[in-house]
Structure 1
Amino acid sequence: MAERVTIIGAGITGLTSALALLEAGCQVRIIDPEPPGSGTSAANGGQLSWAFVAPLAEPGVLPQLPGWLTHADSPIRWVPRLDPALPAWGLAFLRACTRQRARATTTALLELAALGKPQLDDWRTRLGLDFDWRANGKLVVYRDAGALEKARRQAAFQRELGVEQEILDRGALLEREPGLERHRNSLVGAVWTPGEEVGDCAKFCRGVASHLENHGVSIERRRITRLESEAGRLTAWHFSDGERQQRAANETLIVAAGLASRALLAPLGIRLPLYPLKGYSLTVDLDADERLFDTSVTDAARKVVYARLGSGSNGGRLRIAGIADLDGWQARPRASRVEMLKRQASEFLPDQASRIQATDAWTGLRPATPDGRPRLGPTDIDGLWINTGHGALGWTLAPGSALATAQALSKRDIQALTKFRLSATG
C-alpha cells in the first residue's frame, strides 16, 4: 500500500514537498485555507540564490545591532515590542553569531541548495513548467571597499565548498553589466556568481498545483486548527468547521505552513524556533525594448535585489525586493518602509522612477529560525513531520528540502535531514 501523506500548507515548501512525494509513489493531499502560492510565496525577490545562503546570524552583525534598533533607514530593523516570543528567539540568534556556527550553517545550506537546483531544473524541463525562469547570473554590488573585502573572504571560503564566484573590480563590473555605468562613482566592485537564476515563485506554485491536481492530488481549501496526539502518536486533526479527522494507519502529516506551523505544534509540546522576518517588494511593468540589467543585481549596502521576470512583447516585470524587519506578526506594511524602498529603487533606477509606486507594495512574513537553518523531518510524535523555517530562502531551499523529505519518508532514511532536525538544532 502506498504511503499516505497529508501536507498542511500550499506555499512553495508544501507544494514542492507534495510533488517530490507524489513522484516517490506516495498518495498525497494538501490542506490550506488560501490559494496555492498566495502567502509568503506570492511576490518574493524572485532570486534563486543557490550560492548566497549565508545566514543572517554571523559575527559581523553584532556591531550593527544598535543601528538596527535606532536607524529608520536601516535595511534590517529590530522593532522593540512586548512579544514573549522575541527574547528567546533573539538570544538564540545572538548565540548563533559565531564564526564556527555561521560557517557550519553556510555549509549545510549550500548542500541543501545543491540538492535542490538540479531537481528544480528537472521539474522545469520535464513537466514543462513556465515560471519566467532565467539563468542570468547575479551581481552583488558593493559601495564600500571594506564590505567588498569581507565578501572576498566569504567567497574564498565558499570556493573551498565548490561554489563558483568571482570578485570583480569596478572596471570588470561595468564590463560585465554596462547597465550600471551611471553608478560608476559609487560602486567599488562586485561578487559575480554565474550559476544564479531567477523565477516567479508564485507562478511556479500555480503551475505545480495544476500538475498535482491533474495527477490525483487533492488541494483542499480548509483550515486545520488543532492536532491531536496520544501516547506519543499523532491520532487526529480538527478543522475550523468542527470536523475531526482520524489519522489513517499508514498516514504521515507534514506541517509546512510557514509561521502558522509554530502555533499549530505548540500545544503538542513542539517548540519551533520561528519568528517572522518581514520583507517588502515592489513590481514594475517593463516595456519590451526597455534597456535594463542583463543580470540579477543586488545592492549589498541597502540589501535590495533587482530581478527581471519574464520577457517577450510586454517586456516582463522588474521585481524590487528588500528589507528584513523583526516587526511582529502582522503582515501589513509600514508606510515608512515602503517609501524607503521606493526611494532607494528610484535612485538606483532613475529611468524607471516614475513607475515605481508605493501602491504596488507587497509584504510577506518569512518564517525565520535564529541560526538560519530550516527545520525538517520527523518530530518526536510518531506520524508528524515538519518542513518549515526557511526564512528569506524559501524559494531557493524548497526543492532541496522537498527532495530530502521525500527520500527520507519513502526510504525511511533520515540521514539527509540530520543537519536540519528539530532535535539536533533546537
Structure 2
Amino acid sequence: ERGSVFNIYSSHFNKNNWNKGEIVKSLQSDNFCFQPTIAPNGNFMIFSFATNDNPDDADLWLAIRDNKNEWGNLIKLDELNSNGAEITPFLASDDTLYFSSNGFNGKGGFDIYISVNIDGVWQKPRPVTELNTEFDESDFTLIDAHTAIFSSNRPNGKGGLDLWLTHLEAPTYTNFPTSINLSSLVTDINLISFRNFIYFTNYDDYFKTLPNVELADNLSKIYNDSIFIQPQILEIHLNVNDMSESDSLNLSLQINNQSYKIEQCTVLNYPKIINIDLNKYIQTNNLPDSIVFSAEIVDKPSIPKKQIDFNVFKSQKEKLEEVKINNVNYNVYLLPLPKEINEESLDKNLKNLEILKKQITTKKKVIIESSHTFSLSENQTIRNWCEKKISEIKDLNFQKGIFPTLNKYLQNKEFNYLLIFIQN
C-alpha cells in the first residue's frame, strides 16, 4: 500500500486565527513536494521535490505566481541541484537563496549553501563555511540582517537536530606575522553589463570608426553601454600594529594588469575604513577579470604587502532601445539621410527605408523624428516623402524631442537622419 506523501498547503490569517489549510492544487503531487519558501516580492517560490522511487534525491524547483494568484510555470533549478538532496530552501531576498545539501562534497552530511541570482541566473552554490561542520546543518533562516537560526545535530546539543543561533559580526583582525591587517565583508563583485542598442542602415565611414558598432548587411547595431556594479562602494577594513610614526602605507587597487594608487597615508589613526568607488575604475568597454586591493609599507620590502583578492562575476544583457511615448512602448531605428534634401536624393535612400519597413505591420503605430539639422522646408520635404513611401501605415505621426539621449550612441556627431519609432 502506498505510504504518505508531502504536499504544500496554504492558510489565511483571518480574525486573529489561521484558517484550515488547503492544498495548493497546482502543486499537488503523488510524490514529495515540501519545504516551500516564498520570495519577499511574492512573485515566486522555491521548494524541494522528490519522487517516491528516489526520496533521498530531493531537488529544488521554482514556481511562479500568475495574475490569478495561482502557482505554476514550474522550473527545475538544475544549476543548484546535485546527485544528492537539496532541502530547506530559504529566500533571504528576491535574489539570495540559502539551502542545505549533501551532494556537493561538503564538510559532512548536510551543509548550508548560498546562491545569488545575477541577471536571471542562479550562481554556483557556495558553502557557508562558518556554520558547516562534519555533522548536519539545515533549515537556515534569517531573523534580521545580522541574526540567523539553523538546525544541526552537532555535539553539545540536546540530542537529534537542535536549533542554533548565529550572529554576523564585523570583521575581526588576526595578528599576522607582519603588522598590516586587511579584511572586507565583501568577497564577490558582480558586474552586470547592459547593452542597449538601436538599429540603423546605410552606414558611412563615420559609423565604421565608432567602437560601439556591429555592422551587418541590412540592419546594423549601434550600442550604448552601461554597467551596474555590486557593490559600487568597496569597503576595506585596515589595521596597522606596532609601526613607527615615520612609516607610511601605499594603498592600491589592481584591476587586471592596471594598478591605481588609492592613497598614501601614515600609520597613525588606525584602525580605519577605506571606501573605494568602483565606478571610477571599471569601464564599460573593459570589464575586469580580477580585482585586488593591496597595502604595503613604503621602502620596507622585507615586510610583505597584504592583499585581498575579490571574486569577479560578469554577466551581460542586450536589449533593443525602448522609448515610452504616451504610455506606449516603441523601439528605435536610425535612418541616416543625405546632406542635400530633395525627393531625388531621398529616393536614393529608399532601399534602406524598405529594410526598416519590414519591421512594421499595418497595425503598429509609427512616429518619425527628424534631426535638428533641417530647415522648415526640408522637414516638409521629408514629411511628404515619408507619407508617400510609407503610405500603408495609417497611424503615422511626426514629433520632435522624443529621444534626447541619441548623442550617447553617436558621440555628439551631427549629421542628417531620421529616427523611426515603431510600436513594439
TM-score, structure 2 length as denominator?
0.18
Q: Per chain length, whose mean CA-contact separation is higher, i.e. which structure has more relative contact order (CA < 8 Å, sep 6+)? A: 1
More strand by share: 2
Q: Which has the higher helix share?
A: 1
